[in-house]
Amino acid sequence: MARITAGVGCSHVPAIGVAMDTGITEQPYWKPVFEGFEKSREWMAKQKPDVVFLVYNDHCTAFSAEMIPTFALGCAAEFKPADEGWGPRPVPVVKGHQKLASHIAQSVILDEFDLTIMNAMEVDHGLTVPLSLMFGQVDEWPCLVIPLCVNVVQYPPPTGNRCFNLGKAIRRAIDSYDEDLNVVIFGTGGMSHQLQYKRAGLINAEWDQRFLDMLTEDPVAASKIPHVEYLREAGSEGVEMVMWHVMRGALDDDVTEVHRHYHVPASNTAVGHIILENKTN
Ligand code: DHB
Ligand code: FE
**What tens digit of pLDDT does each residue of 36-60 get?**
999 999 999 999 999 999 999 999 9
Residue nearest to atom 2 of ligand 1 (CA): 13
**C-alpha to C-alpha distance for 103 and 276, rounded to whole angstroms:** 25
Mean pLDDT of 20-36: 98
Q: Rounded to an integer, what distance in angstroms lies between the CA atom of residue 271 and that of residue 193?
A: 10
> What ligand 1 atom has the least distance to the C-alpha of 189?
4
Q: Any idea how long the chain is? A: 281
DSSP string covering the chain: --EEEEEEEE---HHHHHHHHTT-TTSTTTHHHHHTTHHHHHHHHHH--SEEEEEE---SSSS-TT---SEEEE-SSEEPBPB-SS-B-SSPPEEP-HHHHHHHHHHHHHTT--PEEESS--B-HHHHHHHHHHH-S-SS-SSEEEEEEE--SSSPPPPHHHHHHHHHHHHHHHHT--S--EEEEEEE--SS---SSTTTT---HHHHHHHHHHHHH-HHHHHT--HHHHHHHH-GGGGGGGGHHHHHHTS-SSEEEEEEEEEEEETTEEEEEEEEEETT-
Task: State yes or no: is 125 an active-site residue.
Answer: yes
pLDDT digits (tens, 9 = 90+) for 163-181: 999 999 999 999 999 999 9
Q: What is the pTM of this model?
A: 0.98
- Count of beta carbons in the 10 Å neighbourhood of residue 179: 12
- What's residue 165's pLDDT? 98
Q: What's the confidence (pLDDT) of residue 98?
A: 98
Superfamily of domain covering 3-278: LigB-like (3.40.830.10)
What are the pLDDT digits (tens) for 132-166?
999 999 999 999 999 999 999 999 999 999 999 99
- Does the beta carbon of 14 sit less than 6 angstroms from any atom of ligand 1? yes
CA distance 200 to 193: 8
| Model confidence band, residue 61 (pLDDT cutoffs 50, 70, 90) | very high
Q: Can you tell me which atom of ligand 1 is nearest the CA of 15?
A: 11
| Residue of 1, 12, 10 lying closest to 268 (CA atoms) | 12
Q: Is 281 a residue whose pLDDT tops 90?
A: no
**What would the pLDDT profile of 218-277 be if each residue is shown by its tens digit?**
999 999 999 999 999 999 999 999 999 999 999 999 999 999 999 999 999 999 999 999
Residue of minimum CA distance from atom 1 in ligand 1:
13
Atom nearest to 57 CA in ligand 1: 6
Q: What is the pLDDT of residues 106-127, one digit of tens each?
A: 999 999 999 999 999 999 999 9
Task: Identify the pLDDT of residue 280.
Answer: 83
